[in-house]
Structure formats: C-alpha cells, structure tokens
Structure 1
Amino acid sequence: MVVGFDYGSSNCAMGVMRAGAVELIPLENSKCYLPSTLYALHNSLISEYVAKGIQESAQSQFRAQRNGILKSAQFARSDLGLMPQETGVFVGQEAIEEYISMPEEGYFVKSPKSFFGAIGLKPEQIAFFEDIATAMILVLKTRAEQHLGKALTQTVIGRPVNFQAVGGEDSNRQAISILTTAAKRAGFTDVEFLYEPLAAGIDFESDLQQDQKVLVVDIGGGTSDCSFVQMGPSYRDCEDRSAHFLAHTGKRIGGNDLDIALAFHKLMPVCGLGGQFKSGLPLPKQAFWQACKINDIQLQSDFYSGAFGRELNTMLRDVCEPEKLKRLQVIQANKMTHQFVRQAELAKIALSDDSAHQVDLSFIENELVQNLDLVQLTESVESSLQQVVALAEQAISDAGTKPDAIYLTGGSAQSPLLKSALQAKLGDTPMLNGDNFGSVTAGLTKWAERIYR
C-alpha cells in the first residue's frame, strides 16, 4: 500500500488515498499528528529496538554492525530491571511525558531530523541517527498498518530544500541517506522524496479553478522553505512538473528557532543572563545560549559536560546574584533544557491570541514565573522572521516574476507576526493559509498515489 509520510521537525503524519480523498492515519491514540520526539531509558536500547524490529533478512548484518552497542543494551536492561517485553523506548507524546517525569535519566531527542544534515558527523554518529529514525518509523509504520489492516510498502517522504544552513548538497545527501536507510530498514521497499513546500502546493492546487503563480511558504519546526510554482488546471495533471517549479529557497530556521530565541532573550534573565561578576564584568552569554540551543548537539553536550558543571560552581562564588545563576545550575544538573524551551514555545503559542502570558518555571524553583507580552515576543523573534522574509524575497527574485498569491503552511505559519512581516515586505499580494499541519502530508499522499500507481 502507498503512503505519504511527513517526517517533520515538529510532528509526524501519514496519509493514504481512500475513495479519491486523502485520509490521515491516527498515529497516537486517535490523533493524526505525533510529536517528533523520542525518549529511551538508555541510548543503546534504541539500537536494540531496531535490531528486534527490522526484517529477519536484515537482522544478521545489522547486529554485526551494531555489535558493541547491542552488548551495552544487555547491560542497560539488567541495570534498569527491564522485563523482556519492555523496550525502554518511547515516541511522541509518550516520550515527552517519560522525559518530564525523569529528565535526569535516559536519552531524549526532539526534532531529530534537524540533526541529520549536521556537518562533521562521525560514522558512529550517523549510524546512531539512522537508528533513531528507524525506531521512530518502525513505530509509526506499525501503528498505521494496524489501523489500515494492510502492509505499507511504498512511500514519499517530505524533505526541506536544505536540511542545514551550511553544508549545502553534502548535508542534504547525508540527511537523505539517513532517512532512506531508516525507511528501508523499517520495511518500505520503495522510498522517494519531495520538497515539503511543493507537497503543500500540490494540495493547494487541487482546488484551483484557474492558473496562478503561487509562492508557497512552508514554515516548519526546523526549516523554512519557499517554492515558486506555476499551478492550476493546465498544470496539475502533468506527469513531469519540474518545468513548473520556478524557484526554491530554504534555510534551517523554523518554529524551534523562534522558541529558542524567546527562551534566551526573555526567560534566561531569571537564570542570570545579563548579570555581572562582583568585579563588574558581565556574565558570559555563551553558557545561557548553550542551554537554549536544543537543536545543536555540540552546544548541548558542552552545556551538560562535567567541565561546565565545575565552571558553574566557580562562577557562583563570584557573581552578584548567585540565586539566579543557581537556577541555571538546576537546569544543567537535571537535564531540563528541553523543558525550559518548551515553556517558551507555549508562550509563543499563547501570545498568538493573547497580549500577555505568564510562563510557569516552577519545575526549576517553586513558584517561579516570568511574565511576557507580545512586544517582548516581537523583539525576540524579529531577526528570525526577517530571515524567513528574505527567503521569500529571494524566491521571487529568482523566479523573475511576481506571485498571484502567497500560500502559507507549516506549524508556525499561523503566527500573526510572520504574516505582518511578509506583508510589510511583499505588499498586498493575497496571502492564504492552508492546513498548517496537514497540507504537506496531503500533498505527499497525492504525489505518492500518482507516481506509484
């Protein structure tokens, strides 16, 4: 059976065609969108989960390649007291809940796709990301097949124009290789990829009554992509659409970066950002940035290192407001960076509708809160929003013509701040909102049906 698969930075979704219409598949209880998160009681259990879940014909080779980490998994299971039927691996909302209950234990990753194109990864790191992706796809594919009562064998997976801000095509090839390997290990026989903004455009095009030049702006959790596409009745039935795509631009900046920016600029001051040493020198900003940058492996590793823990102890003796810096120490000691940035995300969402929001930071210190308003949100994310606007302007320039419409999609596309920033630069071009979460999945599903049937 054919499936469209949005392995997104924020959420995952799958769709199939039924009676000529796209049907999204429930992946977590009755919900069709599953958060792109994974939590394991020990990182070796992820590889063990894959070893047990992949097809028997591939198990021998995989076990030989992962021999060392699979031995570690045996010791981890014994230390954790896991029963044979317990995997110790969780995905989606369940992963978030397990992490929040035990943040100081285990391995938690949010938006793993954001890391797949990282430059400088060692072979063992690439292998581990393959296992993370495979484990997640195994879970999603199994749940979808149980719901449908049929095997899923062919898929089209969405991809950003660029997985990383740096690295170019080398980063893209690495990320595509990781996802292809993972999808095939999980049991898909045929795997194709389609740019996510193009997928969103295909869904939008289905309802067009006349030809238009459309700028599709897809603001996901980890990346922002723009595609300038000729759409409409004259184009949608063509087998080869390459000539209709006039321009693509993309960058690794998305909703997660807005959350990080808000957490750093407006929440980290309660943990000492902006403070001083007794000598009058300012506290270094890098430590606070490392804590917030949850989509950067190296910075998170630096923040959680023993060396930085010792540095924090030294700093505490010399700062003017040690009670604030102690909060950063709590975050570091208890691995709370994801929880911290999550509060910024919730504030960002709330401020889309309200002018003020109280952020709950009581997981760091009893009754600790921080009040935020729309002005503070705007100040924090202005730089990120202007980068998205620049992508749209570049796509229009590359296309050499003006769009008849701008189609916004993606989890962050509903932001009033984004719309205002685009309107300020692009004028009165009609701006339309699609299904912020489902349009990419719908387009992938329609494209999969077309190329595999």
Structure 2
Amino acid sequence: MAACGLDFGTSNTTLGLVTEARPRLLPLEGRHVTIPSAIFFPPGQPAVVGRAAMAEYVEGTPGRLMRSLKSVLGSSLLEETTPVGRERIKFRDVIARYLTAVKARAEAAAGTEFDTVVHGRPVHFVDADPEGDAKAENALREIASSIGFKHVSFQYEPIAAALDYEQQVRAEEIALIADIGGGTSDFSIVRLSAERHAKAERADDILANDGVRIGGTDFDRRLSLGTVMPLLGLGSPMSRGDINVPNAYFHDLATWSSINRLYNARTLREIEEVRRDARRPELIDRLYTVVEAERGHSLAMEVEGAKIATSEAGQGSISLDWVERGLVADIDRTGLVTHTDELARRIAERIGRCLAQAGLTADRIDALFLTGGSTGLPHVRAALTAGVPHARVVDGDTFGSVGTGLTIEAARRAA
C-alpha cells in the first residue's frame, strides 16, 4: 500500500507518488501523465475515460459524453441524476467511476495499490458560501473513500503548486502562487526556501489564500456566447412583442456541465415551438441541428481549440460546416479580450485581497509562480503580472505542478 497525490482537475487529472525520494507523476493514458477529466458511456459497453472518451464522441459513437466533471462539486447538480443508456445515475457516481479508472491505471503503472491520498482542492469550491464549500469537500472525501482510499486528506491547489516550485528555490523568498485552472483561479502567498522545504509543518509559512470560481471553462463559455451562439439564434427577435428568443438553451449549450440537459425529446419540442414564433427561424434550425445531433460537446471543444489558437497565434476559427455549409465563426485576439476581459480582471482582483490578507505590499513579492492552462491567455497573464509588477515571473508545469506538489505532500503525511 502507498500514498499518492491526486489532482482531480476540471480539465485534466494527474496522480503521482514519491519514488527514490523524488515525486513522479504516473502515466494514466499511454505515455501521458495527464488525462482529460472526461468519461464516455457507450450503450451496453464499459465506460471509456480521457482522450479515448473524447475520441469516441467525436467519431460519432453513440453514447453520452461528460466532461469538466469537477465543476458539479458544490452545485445542486452533484445529487441530480442523468440518463446513461437505459439507466439514470447520479453525477457523484459519474465522478466515482471516472476516478476509479484513474486509480486503477495509476496502480497498474506503479505496481502497488494506493490506500492513502492527498486530494487537491480549490481555495473555494463555491464563492462566498462556506457551507456549500464544506459540502463539496465532504462529497469529494466520500467519493474517494467509496473507491478504495482508506485515508483521505486535502491540500489547497496553490499550496501544492508552491511545494513544487520550492524544489528550485535556493534563497528565502516570498512567492505569490497563481493557479488558473479549468474551473477555479486560486492564489496563495507563501514563504519559501530550501531549508523550509524539509519542514513537515508549514502553517506559519502560508501567509494568504484566496480564490474565485472562474477558470478556463468560463472563458470558453463567454467566447461561445459572444461568437457562436448568435449564429444559432441567441439575441435574435421573436415575431411578436419586444422580446428575444429564450436564452436558456444557449447558456446550457455553452456550459460544459449543462450540455447534457438539452439532450431530450422535451427540449427538441420546445425548440420547434420557438422556431414557429421566431423572426429568424433559420437560426433556430441551426440550434435544433446541434441539439438533435447531440453535438454540444463537439461545439464546446471547437470553442476551446479556437481560444487556444487565438491566444497563441492571434486568430482562430470554428467551423460549423456540419451545421450549415459554409458557416464559420472567426475569432481574433481583440474579440477574445472583448468577450473575456471582465473575467481576467475579476481573477486578478484576488491578488489585492491576498496581499491585504498577508499584510504585504506588492513590492514585497519576490516571485510570481504561474501554473494552470489559463495562464497561457495573454490578457490573463498581463492582468496577473500587473498586480505584482516587480516580481520575477516563473512559469511552472502548466498541468503538472499541482499534482507534483500534492505528491510531495502525500509522502510527508505518510512518513
């Protein structure tokens, strides 16, 4: 039996253990140490996880895809059921099935079973709701116990990232850790040094923690609502009265955790009724095509890909030729910023809250350590660096720093 560090992320998951006094993330899908937090249920067949799950869905295999599973923690969705083939299962059981597969793959790669886990968690599962936050952690603890972990504890994700960064720190410094993930943005201010790294108790070195439930999937959502959903009818007028087409369908279609809500006969009937009274029925026809074909996740993947391409190359496009020949949504960096700049500002505001909590001014921060996929967005990075303009900027392992730090913590707690 062994202890592991588990970073169950909104977008990706890692699991690691310490071998020969070094933390090591285990391969979970082929040679990949990261595995997308996705599960696909083909009818009458065992569930498929990770990249394989998304490939099955994109290739048109019948079944149900679920992604960004972590986002239901702290929401009412956790206890709701969703249709999977001929049965209905709770979202908490979906998470359990996914993590069961991850645990089994990690144990096979390590050649040992894991009975102890340090789970990563955001600073806030739920903003401004301590009771909801506690419920979310407790639910994740119950899920971990149900899949075979006998000893379950938690560590804040930015603290875990700090433990990874501290491996390269030689002189004492104060670091601001920014972990901008798929579902949350988390910050910690931590006192670090090589000597402190060896200490088992680090409570006095943690100067501040704060976070907000905004992450990469929120950027995807805003981008989708701003560029794609208007092509499907969002904001278009109804024939009678000074009202627009109901927007709930579009918000669900743009939100990873809500897409599956649309896949039922009642929703299709409702969309048909909307079409009859819409001033531009051809747009609602496009919406109907997406929902009837259950291609909402494909659309979300296209938006995510265009976001990444735009952040890297300055422009991207989303081909909707499968909806209507020649239909495309083009995105440039200006559009990306226009639709998502408010989110970047709200994330960066937490830096001021952390500094106030720590009783420090911005010039006291020696290093800004960045991890998480959304730190790759130029306007997010600019907003973060502006908060501590004199700090040295250090880029961590985008998807592995938190998992590595959790692995270090797991070894300490098991010693």
Q: What TM-score comes out, normalization by structure 2 length?
A: 0.91
Q: CA deviation at 1:120?
A: 7.7
Quick one: which of 345, 355, 372 aligns to 1:410? 372
Distance 2:292 2:68 in 1: 23
Alignment of 1:201-220 (within 5 A): 201-220=162-181
In structure 2, the partner of 1:90 is 48
Distance 1:451 1:180 in 2: 17
Q: Alpha carbons of 1:310 and 1:102: their partners in 2 closer, same or farther (altered >3 Å)?
A: same
Q: CA deviation at 1:204?
A: 0.5
The answer to whether structure 1 residue 347 and structure 2 residue 267 are counterparts is: no
Q: Is the 8 A contact 1:14 1:25 kept in 2?
A: yes
Q: CA deviation at 1:30?
A: 1.3
Deviates more, 1:365-374 or 1:254-263: 365-374
The answer to whether structure 1 residue 321 and structure 2 residue 280 are counterparts is: yes
Quick one: which of 380, 386, 396 aligns to 1:434? 396
SS of the equivalent of 1:246 reads strand
Q: Is the 8 A contact 1:119 1:171 kept in 2?
A: no
In structure 2, the partner of 1:112 is 69
Q: Alpha carbons of 1:243 and 1:328: their partners in 2 closer, same or farther (altered >3 Å)?
A: same
SS of the equivalent of 1:295 reads helix
In structure 1, the partner of 2:86 is none
Q: Alpha carbons of 1:408 and 1:95: their partners in 2 closer, same or farther (altered >3 Å)?
A: same
Quick one: which of 179, 182, 200 aligns to 2:143? 182
Q: CA deviation at 1:361?
A: 1.9
Cα offsets for 1:42-72 (capped at 9, x unmatched): xxxxxxxxxxxxxxxxxxxxxxxxxxxxxxx
Q: CA deviation at 1:123?
A: 8.0
Quick one: which of 359, 363, 371 aligns to 2:318? 359
Q: CA deviation at 1:148?
A: 1.9
Q: Is the 8 A contact 1:115 1:296 kept in 2?
A: no
In structure 1, the partner of 2:92 is 130
In structure 2, the partner of 1:293 is 255
Q: Is the 8 A contact 2:68 2:256 kept in 1?
A: no
Q: CA deviation at 1:111?
A: 1.5
Alignment of 1:25-104 (within 5 A): 25-41=26-42, 82=44, 86-87=45-46, 89-102=47-60
Quick one: which of 160, 181, 190 aligns to 1:229? 190
Q: CA deviation at 1:119?
A: 4.2
Aligned pair count reads 405
Deviates more, 1:255-264 or 1:129-138: 129-138
The answer to whether structure 1 residue 271 and structure 2 residue 232 are counterparts is: yes
Q: Is the 8 A contact 2:366 2:390 kept in 1?
A: no
Q: CA deviation at 1:447?
A: 0.8
SS of the equivalent of 1:29 reads coil
Distance 2:127 2:301 in 1: 23
Distance 2:304 2:192 in 1: 34
Q: Is the 8 A contact 2:238 2:279 kept in 1?
A: yes
Distance 1:180 1:149 in 2: 24
SS of the equivalent of 2:312 reads coil
- Counterpart AA for 2:14: A
Q: Is the 8 A contact 1:219 1:410 kept in 2?
A: yes
Q: CA deviation at 1:385?
A: 0.8
Identity %: 31
- Counterpart AA for 1:8: G
Cα offsets for 1:222-268 (capped at 9, x unmatched): 11111111111342222211121111111211001101110111111
Deviates more, 1:244-253 or 1:217-226: 244-253
5+ residue gaps in structure 2? 83-88
Deviates more, 1:246-255 or 1:419-428: 419-428
Distance 1:237 1:119 in 2: 41
Q: CA deviation at 1:97?
A: 1.9
In structure 2, the partner of 1:400 is 359
Distance 1:313 1:397 in 2: 53
Distance 2:263 2:100 in 1: 30
Q: Is the 8 A contact 2:177 2:187 kept in 1?
A: yes
Q: Is the 8 A contact 2:80 2:91 kept in 1?
A: no
Q: CA deviation at 1:307?
A: 4.5
Structure with the higher fraction of residues in strand conformation: 2
Q: Alpha carbons of 1:426 and 1:284: their partners in 2 closer, same or farther (altered >3 Å)?
A: farther
Quick one: which of 199, 211, 232 aligns to 1:250? 211
Please report the RMSD computed on the Cα atoms of aligned residues, expressed in angstroms. 2.3
In structure 2, the partner of 1:382 is 341
- Counterpart AA for 1:137: L
Q: Is the 8 A contact 2:189 2:358 kept in 1?
A: yes
Q: Is the 8 A contact 2:351 2:387 kept in 1?
A: no
Q: CA deviation at 1:306?
A: 4.4
In structure 2, the partner of 1:18 is 19
SS of the equivalent of 2:200 reads coil
Q: Is the 8 A contact 1:130 1:181 kept in 2?
A: no
Distance 1:305 1:429 in 2: 51
Q: Is the 8 A contact 2:160 2:401 kept in 1?
A: yes
Q: CA deviation at 1:20?
A: 2.4
Distance 1:246 1:254 in 2: 23
Quick one: which of 125, 134, 147 aligns to 1:163? 125
Q: Is the 8 A contact 2:7 2:119 kept in 1?
A: yes
Q: Is the 8 A contact 2:79 2:90 kept in 1?
A: no
SS of the equivalent of 1:26 reads coil
Q: CA deviation at 1:2?
A: 2.0
SS of the equivalent of 1:335 reads coil
Distance 1:240 1:15 in 2: 21
